[in-house]
Structure 1
Amino acid sequence: MDNHSVYRTNVIGAGEAGVAVSVDMEKNVVHQTNSLFWNTIGNDVLGATSLPLYGAFVSEEKCQLFGDVSGKRILEIGCGSGQSLQYVGERHASELWGMDISENQIEKTRQHLSAHGLSAQLICSPMEDTCGLPEDYFDIVYSIYAIGWTTDLEGTFSRIASYLKKDALFIFSWSHPIHKCVVADKNGLTFKKNYFDESWYSVSLGEGTLTLSDRKLSTYVNALAQAGFVIEQLVEQSDEEMLQSRNNDFANKARMLPVTFVLKARKR
């Protein structure tokens, strides 16, 4: 991976990161870097975002995007430590499936579900790759703060469409791209990054390093359309009740611009 001497301030997930270094995207290197991060310190550094939360200040309990999941076959892309699969499993989904790039996360999911009397079919693979998941099979595919890690957004959405039955749902959340561009300081909000810049970058967090790209909201929308999805709902607003419980710079920022977005789409 070819590092350049171009630095910028950026935001990872819901927290502020330090300096990010622009890099050339090489799929295999990105996978190795990010899988190592999540195999070792990912949860310790970034924490885990899971249902009923879609991210900062957005919840399924308020949005009700899933509807009744009882009897549904459900797949999670980026299953992390298994809390979201537990959430849908306890609501009587008929089958739970999970995919993650990290062997460590897969094992955490297995142990977590077992401790709660649940089980799932779990696959360790990059979401972009062929991995043996059944096609035309699932009623719902969802992803909580994981889709943005893909090195091939269009290809990933096409694969997800192939896993879904006709008229089935795809729901995912990610850090809102405008949130990645703006930092809160004592003078209010300041732009630190060009919204239209989708170049790849690497950032050091704790003792680890991760690599990703900040895509525009239109990039996600257009990729969904190309994969054969119809968008049913876009959530950008923060939950006011959740904001009231927080009084810090991050919450103040969320009162003025979206920090998380959620898209609900249906396979045509």
Structure 2
Amino acid sequence: MARCVAGPLPVDAASNATAWNAVALDEATSPPPDGLTRFEWTGWPGRGPGLEILGDLTGARVAELGCGTGEHAALLPRHGTRQVYGVDVADARIQQARRRWRHVPGIMWLSGDAPAVLGGLPPLDVCYSIYGALWYAAPARVLPAIHARLMPGGLLAFSANAPRAGEPSGQRADNLAINGMRLPVIYYTHTAEEWRQLLLAQGFTDISFVHVTAPQSGPYKTLVVTARRPHN
């Protein structure tokens, strides 16, 4: 069942929750999309790595931060996970995931700000995010929470867009257009080297990057990042 994590949300989380709850309500009358057949880290299907980045998931406790409607999390139980936690700041998104994937065992859907939700979870073997909390939450808040919850040797994997040419790094704002309204969203964009320094500062090691460019040489580049909490 879905569970809300109480307490006031930080400004970025509150803004993003409002926008994505509105998206979920706008989609309420649309048929649900088909389930995924491939684990996608970018917005360009078939481009870039797949589920292999997460390694052997047999018996693993896994959390997706910013799970949206849950398509990726719903793929994991067939790969032997012990427990999957789908986390999203937008409660309406969590309700969508719960309805769409209620037939899939071994998933708990949780709504709330990712750092707060992480504090209530058991130790994790894998934590991942696909344009999720590592894109929409301040690294200074979310990275320490992930490091604290991962088991020694545990894996963090995430995708986020790198800054476009001429675009500054750090906190950025954009708008989602929904039913004639423009709702602000807040996100955080960094280069690979900036992510490396942010991860090192929080104690992560074994940091690596896959650079995935947009088709037809578009302006976007997605970074698929992996790092580990060290064993010692």
Decide whether aligned partners of structure 1 residues 157 and 208 sit closer, same or farther in structure 2, where only a CA change above 3 A counts. Answer: same
Give the equivalent residue in structure 2 for 1:14: none
Aligned-partner Cα distance in 2 for 1:30–1:148: 11
Identical positions, percent: 18
Cα distance per residue 1:200-234 (max 9 Å; x no partner): 32424233413224422233221111111113421
Give the equivalent residue in structure 2 for 1:251: 215
Alpha carbons 1:110, 1:119 under 8 Å: kept: no
Give the equivalent residue in structure 2 for 1:37: 19
What letter matches 2:205 in structure 1? Answer: V
Aligned-partner Cα distance in 1 for 2:54–2:118: 25
Larger radius of gyration: 1
Alpha carbons 1:77, 1:143 under 8 Å: kept: yes
SS at match of 1:105: helix
Of residues 247, 253, 261, the one that matches 2:223 is 261
Aligned-partner Cα distance in 2 for 1:36–1:174: 21
Alpha carbons 1:231, 1:263 under 8 Å: kept: no
What letter matches 2:48 in structure 1? Answer: V
Where does 1:195-214 land on structure 2 (aligned, <5 Å)?
195-206=167-178, 207-214=181-188
Q: Runs of 5+ in structure 2 lacking a partner?
A: 1-8, 28-32
Q: Runs of 5+ in structure 1 lacking a partner?
A: 1-26, 182-193, 239-249
Q: Does 1:85 align with 2:81?
A: no
Aligned-partner Cα distance in 1 for 2:196–2:150: 18
Aligned-partner Cα distance in 2 for 1:231–1:79: 25
Give the equivalent residue in structure 1 for 2:150: 164
The Cα shift of 1:131 comes to: 5.5
Aligned-partner Cα distance in 2 for 1:103–1:142: 19
SS at match of 2:157: strand
Alpha carbons 2:87, 2:117 under 8 Å: kept: no
Given the two structures, how large is their TM-score scaled by the length of structure 2?
0.78
SS at match of 1:134: coil
Greater shift, 106-115 or 162-171, is seen at 106-115
Alpha carbons 1:174, 1:262 under 8 Å: kept: yes
What letter matches 2:222 in structure 1? Answer: T
The Cα shift of 1:261 comes to: 1.0
Aligned residues: 207
Aligned CA-pair RMSD: 2.6
